[in-house]
């Protein structure tokens, strides 16, 4: 119980201001700060999805050129399509892809924590060769690696991207982020040849 002498005068005013500040602080910490953090996280996720959509649309636009290069290769036997993964089998293409990705990661300043070769998918004309990679690196390094993959001589696609980091609103760019993604490319199926 507050003594009656504290309710009046300067002490009472200071106590009222202190209670008001405490109430505002509780409202900020209990409602506004979590909502602000939720909004910021949603905004960052939306920006990532928009960037991924733009990249996927660019890759979809390049598909006719890849098909044309493959058709010309099959048609006249000349002009090896540089967009295709090298290797006579899926295992050799996966090894070449892994070597290329490890070199790009090293050049970007990242080291891969895990590399997994995924089962290949085969159609009449294509063999899809995929790797799942995991790494811990700061955001600028991850972006540098993705740009290096985009500029690779063989057409390498990025999919199933996951980023994990502490839920901090002001996340410094130098803190490492756990990332995993699937990198895949295609090699032409040889008529009558197995994988």
Which one of 45, 65, 81 terminates a domain?
Answer: 81
Residues 120-155: tens digit of each pLDDT: 887 777 788 888 988 888 888 888 888 888 888 778
Assess contact for 77 and 97: CB atoms under 8 A.
no
Q: Could you tell me if 107 and 65 lie in one domain? A: no
pLDDT band at 185 (very low <50, low <70, confident <90, very high): confident
* pLDDT on residue 62: 82
CATH number of domain containing 126 = 3.30.70.60
Does pLDDT of 64 surpass 60? yes
Residues in CB range of 156: below 8 A, 6 or more apart: 97, 100, 101, 149, 183, 184, 185
> Are 89 and 180 within one domain?
yes
pTM of the shown model: 0.52
Q: Are residues 69 and 139 in the same domain?
A: no
Q: What residues make up the domain containing 4?
A: 1-81
Contact of 73 with 109, CB cutoff 8 Å: no
From 65, 81, 97, the end of a domain falls on 81
């Amino acid at each position: 119980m507050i003594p009656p002498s504290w309710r009046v005068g300067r002490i009472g005013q200071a106590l009222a201001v202190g209670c008001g500040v405490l109430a505002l602080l509780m409202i900020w910490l209990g409602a506004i700060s979590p909502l602000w953090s939720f909004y910021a996280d949603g905004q960052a996720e939306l920006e990532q999805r928009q960037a991924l959509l733009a990249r996927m649309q660019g890759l979809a636009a390049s598909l006719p050129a890849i098909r044309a290069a493959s058709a010309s290769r099959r048609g006249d036997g000349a002009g090896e399509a540089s967009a295709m993964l090298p290797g006579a089998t899926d295992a050799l293409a996966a090894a070449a892809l892994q070597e290329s990705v490890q070199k790009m990661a090293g050049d970007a300043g990242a080291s891969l924590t895990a590399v997994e070769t995924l089962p290949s998918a085969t159609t009449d004309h294509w063999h899809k060769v995929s790797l799942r990679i995991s790494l811990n690196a700061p955001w600028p390094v991850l972006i540098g690696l993705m740009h290096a993959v985009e500029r690779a001589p063989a057409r390498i696609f990025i999919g199933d991207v996951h980023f994990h980091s502490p839920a901090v609103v002001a996340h410094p760019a130098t803190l490492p982020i756990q990332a995993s993604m699937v990198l895949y490319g295609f090699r032409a199926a040889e008529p009558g040849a197995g994988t």
